[in-house]
Structure 1
């Protein structure tokens, strides 16, 4: 298991003709995305799949530098923030995600482009269409085969967090409420790609719901590639 003018609409489903399967976990901070990513990794590995577990930002060596800049940097304005996320995403897809999908792996990422649409496009008011177009350009139109939205009340998510909050987590309650609202709007607009689950449910129950939705989308299992995170 390894870590990692008008714009035309993106092709779909997410991995297109690539033989792998691409899963994104979305939702507000404290929704339980890391827990569900780990549970999916264990299940998929047991089935015999090569599994790549990754995150945004920070799924590559360059991404970890960009993650530190965007989450902990000083004086990062909204447009710079959006471009840092898009830069990370472009490199992440080119370096890690697309090669894994070409090998037939199952890629599970903690956050993808819908986070940018919700956080920078909606909550930062930079324009949801503009931010989506930027990410689609950066990734050459790659969309997940399944996006799991772990829906959580922002107050509940904040109470679950451990450690000092980063600069995004320190935003106002209204900011995080707008993020949640737009995630739900995105899911309502594209139910074929989204699975919405209540993040307050037991982790095992959430995992069972995700397994049921994901199972029909999986490729034939291949030899597992082992454990650990990919740089």
Structure 2
């Protein structure tokens, strides 16, 4: 089973991934972008190349996505694979940056993924007041510096994208305790 855990920065994805590693010891854990050596190079280019166009950036991430499908997902398709982010994030960030439609971005992503989609998607959602609280806890990265409105717009597109798909999904409120969120995620993954 292939599962992706989605959410904007500060929702607690990293914490949940660490807890899931303890619960599902035999699972394959990966991430997008950067789940392969090629993906790490793509990530470096995108993070540090200032003059890259939005469409060029989309195609770099699509290249990473295909490499991830080839090197991580296909070889392990019979195992439990849990990915920290996936194509839903890719679509949301690309839509905000390029203003291409969700439908067009979905088509491009499905091509890159060779129509191999997750069996389940989990989205941890956060509201504005909680996000404001969490933004003051530690130094902001380059994405977080784009602001709360930007992040909430990305989150809105993530949810819209998920609801357009025929994939089982779970929406979780980030204000729940770490333990409550973990319990919901584990139950959802185990549910047949």
TM-score, with normalisation over the residues of structure 1? 0.75
CA distance in 1, matches of 2:137, 2:6: 16
Number of equivalent positions: 190
Structure 1 moving runs of 4+ over 6 Å: none
DSSP 3-state at the match of 1:29? coil
Give the aligned partner of residue 40 of structure 1: 20
- Alpha-carbon RMSD across the aligned residues, in angstroms, is 2.1
Counterparts in 2 of 1:37 and 1:137: CA distance versus 1, 3 Å = same
Q: Residues 86 and 138 of structure 1 are in contact (CA less than 8 Å); yes or no, is this contact kept in structure 2?
A: yes
Match status 1:147 vs 2:121: yes
Is residue 2:157 matched to residue 1:177?
no
Unaligned runs of 5+ in 2: none
- Verify: 1:116 aligned to 2:90, yes or no: yes
Return the structure number with greater helix share.
2
Q: Aligned with 2:24: secondary structure?
A: helix
Unaligned runs of 5+ in 1: 1-20, 218-231
Matched, 1:211 2:191: no
Instruction: Please show how residues 121-200 of structure 1 align to structure 2 within 5 Å.
Output: 121-122=95-96, 124-153=98-127, 155-156=131-132, 159=135, 162-166=138-142, 168-190=143-165, 193-200=168-175
Asked whether the 8 Å contact 2:11–2:125 carries over to 1, the reply is yes
Displacement, 1:28?
Answer: 0.8
Superposed CA deviations along residues 87-139 of structure 1, whole A, max 9, x for unmatched, are 111001101111111xx221111111111221112454122111111110011
